[in-house]
Amino acid sequence: MSWDISIQRFSRVYTSIQQIPNDERCVPLGSQVEVRAAISEVFHGTDWSDPTWGNYDFPGGSIEFNMGKPESNNGFMLHVRASEQVVPLIVTLCIQNGWQALDCGSGEFLEQSNEPASGQAAWLAYRNQVLGKA
């Protein structure tokens, strides 16, 4: 169970998914090498032993970066199992690279939100309820 975030780049920045027209297509983020380097610049120490699946572990939890195999990266998924400490890092990653982070639970773009950690808080509450820790 994780808090899932989809990272993409569009032809322009959207403030909500409702703004995205049906004919919009994702713009490549860069090559896999470029995207991994951008991630590692923000998430220092990410393990890329498997270049299609990066792992970032820190005392507050972990993030898995599901990159896929195509050489040109059109987007990737984050599977977050971590404290709210990671939220500013995810926002920074997106802003530095012109990417957008779609919270798959709320349908909001993290870097456009006034409360980007709200999805992480909702995931944590749900996880604790399922595990009987609420």
What confidence tens digit (pLDDT) does each residue in 90-128 have? 999 999 999 999 999 999 999 998 888 888 887 888 887
Identity of residue 30: G
pLDDT in tens, 2-52: 999 999 999 999 999 999 999 999 999 999 999 999 999 999 999 999 999
- Domains: count for the chain: 1
**CA separation for the pair 134, 73 (Å, rounded):** 39
- What's the rounded Cα separation, in Å, for the pair 93 and 46? 14
DSSP 8-state assignment for residue 82: E
Q: CATH number for the domain including 113?
A: 3.30.310
Domain hosting 12: range is: 3-130
